[in-house]
Amino acid sequence: MSKRNGERPPVPELLPAPVVDAHTHLDACGAKTAEDVRELVDRAASVGVARVVTVADDLASARWVARASTWDDRVFGAVALHPTRTSEFSDADRAELAELAAQPRIVAIGETGLDYYWDYAPHDAQQDAFRWHIELSKRVGKPLMIHDRDAHEDILRILTEQGAPSTVVFHCFSGDADFARRCVDAGYVLSFAGTVTFRNAAALREAAALVPLDQLLVETDAPFLTPHPFRGRPNEPYCAAYTLRDLAALRGMAVVDLANAVNGTADRVFQLRQVTEQPGSLR
């Protein structure tokens, strides 16, 4: 399908039950102000994507995410230094990230991990930073949100060597069925983005079909990875509805049942209800 000169995909029909976009980048979608954030989450809510986790990839983004998560009660945050940005990672950087990670509406440490596709950061620097983020996740008691690109074996090895946090989420899961089974057996949660809808992604679709519902999340990774048939056009949190429907068809499930399942998984994994109900919350 044509990219339509950067035009967003059409807004789909309302889902029969609300879901969470488990990983998006509102700042990369163009949001700067509270009004910008509200516009994006209003559009998502109009199709049943009722809450979002907006994720940082560097320190400037982490500062913004921490602020943005306080602007709207449908928005939660995750902070970390992306593996491609770890060639320089100072003690001051680590101290600031740790402080941001402790904020109540930050619900995960991410995205962190390893990226061997790009050569922006040496593998040893990435691995050192990944180990530090693992320890931060355990220290603050929040899930570890993993970026894994062409690094499956090292990701699993380091999680084993370091001792995995109680909750680990593989953001934009990219492995095959065998790797999915290994992650599921380890108790990890697998989050699927628009890539799972691509018709040339047979191995990934096979993986998505076997993940237990209590270890399954749906995300956009917006503004990237727009689902089929709008691949190449700008992505937004509302497009999680397309991925959810495609996954339901793939798994032979009613859309409402899958929506309820992944919404429940997101609530449990990120403890969203506890965050919302704590003193000083936005509600």
Q: Which three-class secondary structure string do you get for the chain?
A: CCCHHHCCCCCCCCCCCCEEEEEECCCCCCCCCHHHHHHHHHHHHCCCEEEEEEECCCHHHHHHHHHHCCCCCCEEEEECCCHHHCCCCCHHHHHHHHHHHCCCCEEEEEEEEEECCCCCCCHHHHHHHHHHHHHHHHHHCCCEEEEEECCHHHHHHHHHHHCCCCCEEECCCCCCHHHHHHHHHCCCEEEECHHHHCCCCHHHHHHHHHCCHHHEEECCCCCCCCCCCCCCCCCCHHHHHHHHHHHHHHHCCCHHHHHHHHHHHHHHHHCHHHHHHCCCCCC
pLDDT band at 276 (very low <50, low <70, confident <90, very high): confident
pLDDT score, position 281 = 59
* CATH number of residue 45's parent domain: 3.20.20.140
pLDDT, position 151: 98
**Residue 23 labeled ligand binder:** yes
Is 133 annotated to bind a ligand? Reply is no
19 in a structural domain: no
Q: Residue 5 domain-assigned? A: no
Query: Does residue 147 lie in a domain region?
Result: yes
135 marked as binding residue = no
Model pLDDT for residues 204-262, shown as the tens digit of each residue: 999 999 999 999 999 999 999 999 999 999 999 999 999 999 999 999 999 999 999 99
Does residue 107 lie in a domain region?
yes
pTM to 2 decimal places = 0.95
The stretch 46-63 carries a mean pLDDT of 98
Domain annotation covers residue 203: yes
pLDDT at position 274 is: 85
pLDDT at 273: 87
pLDDT tens-digit map of 106-150: 999 999 999 999 999 999 999 999 999 999 999 999 999 999 999
- Domain housing 113: 26-277
Average pLDDT along the chain: 96
Domain total for the chain? 1
pLDDT surpassing 80 at residue 279: no
Residue 228, marked binder: no
Please tell me the predicted confidence (pLDDT) of residue 1: 41
Say if residue 221 carries a ligand binding annotation.
yes
Residue 11 placed within a domain: no
* Residue 261 within a domain: yes
Residue 152, marked binder: no
